[in-house]
Amino acid sequence: MPAYDSSFKPPAPVADVTVAHPLSGLRRGTLRGKLDCGADITVLPERVVTQLGLTPRGHIWTRGFDGTYSRRPVFYVRFLLEGFDLPSVRCVAADRTTVLVGRNVLNRFVLILDGKNLTFDLQDPP
């Protein structure tokens, strides 16, 4: 079982994520992805969108943790999370250094958070 990342205060479940362009297959190396069941949608670092040359496929209004609204472009990527391959994931981008893995990804799995032992388990049910 992967361990929580104790550099977050309090410690948080963080998984290995690889993001790829859905058509060209161009990939960004392994990134850290904070698993956030409070986030509706997955958020990529803006630099990843630029590096992969992703094209916006529309816009949506989002609300940040601080309550402010912003209109953001929507992107679709191929998403690999802890070895699980998701061919099409809808996301937005923001000025951040890590991926924020939201419920649009997490709801595809069984996620077990063991806060007492600071570990988690991600399972893909049959």
Radius of gyration of the chain measured on its C-alpha atoms: 14
Residue 93 binned pLDDT confidence (cut-offs 50, 70, 90): very high
Measuring CA to CA, how many Å separate 34 from each of 54, 85, 106? 22, 17, 11
| Entry pTM | 0.93
32's CB contacts (< 8 A; 6+ apart) are 5, 14, 15, 16, 17, 98, 99
* Mean pLDDT, rounded, for 97-106: 96
Instruction: Give residue 50's pLDDT.
Output: 95
**φ, ψ dihedrals at 21, nearest 5°:** -65, 135
What does the block give as tokens for 46?
């803006």
Neighbours of 37 (CB within 10 A): 12
What's domain 4-121's architecture? Answer: Beta Barrel (2.40)
pLDDT of residue 64 exceeding 90: no
pLDDT in tens, 19-57: 999 999 899 889 999 999 999 999 999 999 999 999 999
Q: Domain coordinates of the chain in residue numbers? A: 4-121
Residue 123 scores a pLDDT above 90 = yes
